[in-house]
Structure 1
Amino acid sequence: MPRVLFVCTGNTCRSPMAEAILKNKHLDGIEVKSAGIYAAAGNEASQHAKQVLERNKLSHNHRSSLLTDVEVEWADLILTMTASHKFAIQQQFPQAVVKVYTLKEYGSGDETFNPDVVDPYGGSLGMYEATYRELNELIEKAIEKLKS
């Protein structure tokens, strides 16, 4: 049973949205969590992230969590929002090197132009909606890869 961990910076915008998207696909046998490299434990998702999820009829009760050995060991696959997140995980958790990818790298196999999912933190609701659409598209591609 694949266990997927989404990682971003503060675990209040991108990774919780990605977690909610994948969880709400209701795929048998896939467990999903999210964490942040610099997260403060216990924060809710950002207001705009919650609004975007509600608009897309996705339920998700979220509290931020800091990435630790526990989450890294739990995960079969770690999908980061940026190349710098991937690098930080590889440096801090060398045992995870073989299971960490950027979401773009894993989902599309192509990160030659820009490996990062845009961070909407502090931006408009429209920025969050654009990030949601990007995440949803990349997660659809990742699901195909997980199934194969």
Structure 2
Amino acid sequence: MNSNQPFNILFVCSGNSCRSPMAEALLRMKLPSRLQDEVDIQSAGTLGINGMPAADFAINVVGEMGGDLHGHRSQGVTPDLVAKSDLILAMANEHVNYLQRKYPNYRENVFLLKRFANDDIPDDPDIEDPIGFGKAVYRECADIIAEELDRVMPAIVKLVQNHRRETA
């Protein structure tokens, strides 16, 4: 186990009940086992809602994909969370704008998930909020997040490896 400071990744959406918790759970599943002890993954919402469980359809869809959201409880974005995060991946432009406006000293750590480590500009850069829709929309949202995590994984691995060297 690495005794150095972990590399901290924070996913951000609005309520922290659908998109960002799904991203958190899916990254935990997808992160190479050799890096599991070196990365701390959290999620939070810009609306500041604390203590709510993940949406039922989010729990179901992530469960079908092999993850677990049963223990998730929402939390709002806080100055401490932002300050300790090495990488902040937002689900939509509104979240990027919120974070960069409220925490300007950390703007270099804030990215839109679909634009992070992406030379191509996506046609639709936002991952739409599935709240209020049926399970099929949650599945589509989770699939998009999973595809994006697969796409950015090499960049995340490289950041973690660089962080390891810097903190050694």
TM (norm. structure 2) is: 0.83
Aligned pairs for 1:100-139 within 5 A: 100-139=110-149
Aligned with 2:45 (options 36, 47, 52): 36
The DSSP-based 3-state class of the residue aligned with 2:89 is strand
Deviation of the 1:17 alpha carbon: 0.1
Q: Report the residue type matching 2:65 in the other structure.
A: N
Is this contact kept in 2: 1:4–1:31, CA < 8 A?
yes
Write out aligned runs for 1:1-148 (5 A). Answer: 1-27=6-32, 28=35, 29-60=38-69, 61-148=71-158
Q: C-alpha distance in 1, partners of 2:68/2:117?
A: 23
Letter in 2 for 1:77: L
| SS of residue in 2 equivalent to 1:106 | coil
Q: Of the two, which has the highest radius of gyration?
A: 2
* Paired residues of 2:26 and 2:146 also in contact (CA < 8 A): yes
Pick which of 75-84 and 101-110 moved more.
101-110
Change (3 A) 1:56 1:112: closer
Name the Cα RMSD after superposition. 1.3
Aligned length: 148
TM-aligned CA deviation for residue 143 of structure 1: 1.1
The alignment partner of 1:118 has SS state of: coil
Structure 1: give runs of 5+ residues left out of the alignment: none
Deviations 1:43-84 (A, max 9, x none): 000011001011112123200000010110110000000011
* Cα separation, 1, equivalents of 2:46 and 2:12: 7
**4+ runs deviating over 4 angstroms:** none
Tell me what 2:161 maps to. none
Distance change in 2, residues 1:90/1:105 (3 Å) = same
**Amino acid of the structure 1 residue aligned with 2:66:** K
Q: Which structure 2 residue ranges, 5 or more long, are not aligned? A: 1-5, 159-168
TM-score in terms of structure 1 length: 0.94
CA contact (8 A) 2:59 2:68 kept: no
